[in-house]
Amino acid sequence: MADPSTCRPLTRASVFEARELIKGLVHHTPTLTNATLDRIASTPAPAPTESELGNCEGESRKKPANPTMRLYFKCENLQRIGAFKIRGAMHAIERLKMEPGWEEGGGREKGVATHSSGNHAQALALAAQTNGIPAHIIMPSISAPPKIAGTKGYGANVVFSGSTSVEREAVLNEVIEKTGARFVPPYDHPDIVLGQGTLGLELLEDAHDIIAAAAGVESNAVPAADRALRAPATTRTLPESKKSNPHLDAVLAPCGGGGMLSGVALSCEGTGVRVFGCEPSFEGADDAKRGYESGKRVERVSSLTVADGLRTPLGKVPWDIIYERRLVAGFYSVGEDEIIAALKLAYERFKLVIEPSAAVPLAVALFNEDFRSMVEREGGEDGWDVGIVFSGGNVSLSALGKLFA
């Protein structure tokens, strides 16, 4: 990995620089809307029964709120390798190639290495293949078969490990000692954070165009030549306030190691758009939420939540952005049943293939009464325009069959 001391500063300007560096190497994925999900999000959930209240998970089953929400989905499930991770991996490799002495010291021949449950694994494998660099990927043996197959398909040497971060790192150290490969972290490095943040810039610009068009006002967020990439305007009715200020009010993004969430937070810095992290609550997988609320980062997590991409603890670099700099406004968590319900809605009502981790922000918007009450209270009659990051779509059909059985 590039020496952190040589990295660009963690600022919004640096996210723009990262976007220029990886332009042409990643897709500008669409930002889509869905009237049915808007309606569901803007309808009070049925009041919980006594049985449900007695078996509730976390704090998500409270008095039903009645917010108004218009949702904008950033579809990174349509990204290369099926997830946002390619952004950080491509940016990391491009920055590594710029490091003085890397080529001369045999860096290209020694290659790169990482540990990942699947999406970063595939991303680094493809980024390495694109540049003719060997890649050694440590994957938990319980990783989703499509993610394993994808990683091998991009030419990587896959080495299996246990499922916890401690087990992954132990095998990774052995591989690095043997090969001399350079470690490219899945989330805890400035180059990864800045690369992931590029999706936030796209979401802000695309949503601005959609909102402005629906409000009947001119949009100058991006050059006219680029607007063919944007989603078509919707027919939704927007409040008068949006005519003078056509932008998102908030973004909901999933949080595992925090690389993407912190990158999105940087992309929104100074814009007035509030960013919230979303996690599963199962078996303590909401480590970022607990750390944020206690003021101390949780360094170890051991959870088998269905949202397999969110089983990792929050990294040090993301923690500084998220907590120390307060660029993330807060965290919300949801239970397993709520994640699966949101996943099912995305399939049946949106016709989009997403993985369980990607469904977590939608589950927060639909089911977390703390978040919904805040939108109702602060958004009033006008409501909020909320960006939802669909982080990836790598899930096997067999796994889906078990989830929905």
User: Do the strands 69-75 and 31-32 form a parallel or antiparallel pair, or are they unpaired?
Assistant: antiparallel
Distance of alpha carbon 108 from alpha carbon 104, whole angstroms: 9
The pLDDT of residue 219 is 58
Whether 388 contacts 71, CB under 8 Å: yes
DSSP state letters, 276-297: EEEEE-GGG--HHHHHHHHTS-
Q: Which domain holds residue 176?
A: 85-183
Q: How many domains does the chain have?
A: 2
Whether residue 126 is contained in a domain is answered as yes
The pLDDT of residue 171 is 96
Both 110 and 73 in one domain: the answer is no
The pLDDT of residue 57 is 52
Which residue, of 148, 167, 183, is where some domain finishes? 183
Both 74 and 120 in one domain: the answer is no
Confirm whether 242 is a catalytic residue: no
The pLDDT of residue 59 is 47
Both 266 and 392 in one domain: the answer is yes
Which residue, of 164, 183, 202, is where some domain finishes? 183
The pLDDT of residue 399 is 83
For the chain, the average pLDDT equals 90
The pLDDT of residue 218 is 65
Distance of alpha carbon 255 from alpha carbon 262, whole angstroms: 9
- Tell me how far CA of residue 211 lies from CA of 23, 230, 381, in angstroms: 25, 12, 17
Confirm whether 110 is a catalytic residue: no
List the structure tokens of 68. 């108004």
Active-site entry in 14, 42, 60, 117:
117
Both 16 and 73 in one domain: the answer is yes
Paired strand residues for 385 = 70
Both 159 and 227 in one domain: the answer is no
DSSP state of 26: B
The pLDDT of residue 299 is 92
The pLDDT of residue 395 is 86
DSSP state letters, 163-214: SSHHHHHHHHHHHHHHH-PEE--SSSSHHHHHHHHHHHHHHHHHHHHHHHHH
Whether residue 278 is contained in a domain is answered as yes
Distance of alpha carbon 356 from alpha carbon 338, whole angstroms: 10
Active-site entry in 42, 74, 85, 267:
85
- Tell me how far CA of residue 391 lies from CA of 113, 196, 209, 261, 359, in angstroms: 23, 10, 21, 10, 8
Both 113 and 100 in one domain: the answer is yes
| CATH number of the domain bearing residue 302 | 3.40.50.1100
Entry field: residues in the chain: 405
The pLDDT of residue 1 is 62
Q: Which residues of the chain have pLDDT under 70?
A: 1-5, 47-62, 218-235
The pLDDT of residue 240 is 82
CB count, 10 Å around CB of 141? 10
Which residue, of 183, 199, 225, is where some domain finishes? 183
Both 31 and 139 in one domain: the answer is no
What is the tens place of the pLDDT at every residue in 112-147? Answer: 999 987 789 999 999 999 999 999 999 989 887 878
